[in-house]
């Protein structure tokens, strides 16, 4: 949603299209993660949920997929960084992609499930691609004097 919001203040169609494309792909990533969480928890017993530290989550949401961070803090638009300054926003986007890459690497290190690892490796690589595309856009805009 950050990229969808930022695209409106990009100075040209190139930037708007890039942010729109990456935003659309990121929604697909959300679906992949939500599907993976559902598949990993759908047959879990209440005891297994509690042992995995998901007792409070289960009490509130059952086995529904409810977007939170690893501490259980619900998703909020307060995470969005939108300044209206193309260079500042794109720099934030590059940092966000690096943070996501690091998170995927940490998650990979925490599991030995090959199916989970395969999905996380794919998502990690997409973060690298996104970072590189944002970097190209940043350098292009900087050269243009935006």
pLDDT value at residue 81: 85
Q: What are phi and psi of 128, to 5 degrees?
A: -65, -45
Under a CB-based contact definition with an 8 Å cutoff, are residues 52 and 44 in contact? yes
93 neighbors 120 (Cβ within 8 angstroms): no
State the angle between helix axes of 114-144 and 86-109 in degrees (0 to 180), rounded to the nearest 10.
Answer: 160
Q: What is the pLDDT of residue 79?
A: 81
Q: Would you kindly state where each structural domain of the chain is located, as residue ranges?
A: 2-144
> In angstroms, rounded to a whole number, what is the distance separating the alpha carbons of residues 128 and 5?
21
CA gap 126, 49 in Å, rounded: 30
Contacts of 127 (CB under 8 A, 6+ apart): 97, 98, 100, 101, 104
User: The CATH number of 2-144 is which of 3.40.50.300, 2.40.110.20, 1.20.1260.10, 1.10.10.10?
Assistant: 1.20.1260.10
Q: What would the two tokens of residue 35 be?
A: 């599907």
Taking the chain (146 residues) in runs of 10, the rounded mean pLDDT of each run is 96 98 97 96 97 94 93 88 96 97 98 98 98 98 96
pTM for the complete prediction?
A: 0.91
Number of CB atoms found within 10 A of residue 11's CB:
11
């Amino acid at each position: 949603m950050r990229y969808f919001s930022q695209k409106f203040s990009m100075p040209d169609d190139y930037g708007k299209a890039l942010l729109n494309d990456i935003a659309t792909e990121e929604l697909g990533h959300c679906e992949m993660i939500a599907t993976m969480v559902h598949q990993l928890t759908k047959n879990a017993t209440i005891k297994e949920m509690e042992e995995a530290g998901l007792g409070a989550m289960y009490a509130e949401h059952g086995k529904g997929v409810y977007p939170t961070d690893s501490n259980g803090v619900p998703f909020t638009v307060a995470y969005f960084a939108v300044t209206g300054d193309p260079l500042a926003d794109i720099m934030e986007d590059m940092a966000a992609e690096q943070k996501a890459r690091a998170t995927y690497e940490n998650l990979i290190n925490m599991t030995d499930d090959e199916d989970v690892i395969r999905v996380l490796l794919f998502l990690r690589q997409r973060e690298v691609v996104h970072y590189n595309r944002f970097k190209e856009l940043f350098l292009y805009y900087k050269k243009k004097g935006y």
